[in-house]
Amino acid sequence: STSEVDVAEWFKSGSDEFLTYADSAALRLICKIQLKGRPLGEICDVQRGVTPFKTYPIPTHNTSRPAFVGTVRRFSLECPAKPAYIRFDATLAELKPERYFVGPRLLLREMISRQFRLQAASTKDDFVTNKSMQSILELPNGPDLPYILGILNSQLMSWFFLHRSNVAQRDDFPKIVLKESRSLPIANWGCPLG
């Protein structure tokens, strides 16, 4: 099937994104969603996990912390029966502040599902995640995490993301990178998109 589009519309935002997957109707909807929302990075604290991610079956140092070696699905976590630990200290090339790995937060998986859907889940458990996982923390005066979780896992947000991202359209490993996550438009809580 074919669609018509004014190619100049792809470049109106002045960003480096190429909206090559959006026809004119999709562009109108993308603009509406962006106008009705604020970037996730402005209303939540979003950061990816640590690098490298060498895990051990038992704690090996006094800086060892539980490590997440399971899978994030939409609204749920799949955890293995055996625990894993990571040395969480300055030996890591990309050490992140501990706040991203403790207490209530959302986890957004960088890999897109086979159904081309974003996958996020909520947790309160303390564990360190690797760079393929993004932690989303609530900010003062920001929306509640369950609200953000519902939006991230919605079909509309996956559609929006897939129409804007060339990385999500790759054949090998479609994913969402940190910059894209932080720019996802979140509708003003308490205000419908209408």
- Note the pLDDT tens digit of each residue in 1-21: 555 555 555 555 554 454 556
Residue 67 has pLDDT above 70, yes or no: yes
Q: What is the pLDDT of residue 92?
A: 96
Residue 62 has pLDDT above 70, yes or no: yes
Neighbouring C-beta atoms of residue 53, cutoff 10 Å:
19
Choose between 81 and 174: higher pLDDT. 81
Q: What is the pLDDT of residues 95-152, one digit of tens each?
A: 999 999 999 999 999 998 888 899 999 999 999 999 999 999 999 989 999 999 999 9
**What are the start-end ranges of the H helices in 9-118?**
24-35, 40-43
68 to 38, 114, 125, 173, 182: CA distances (angstroms): 30, 22, 10, 21, 22
pTM of the entire predicted model: 0.86
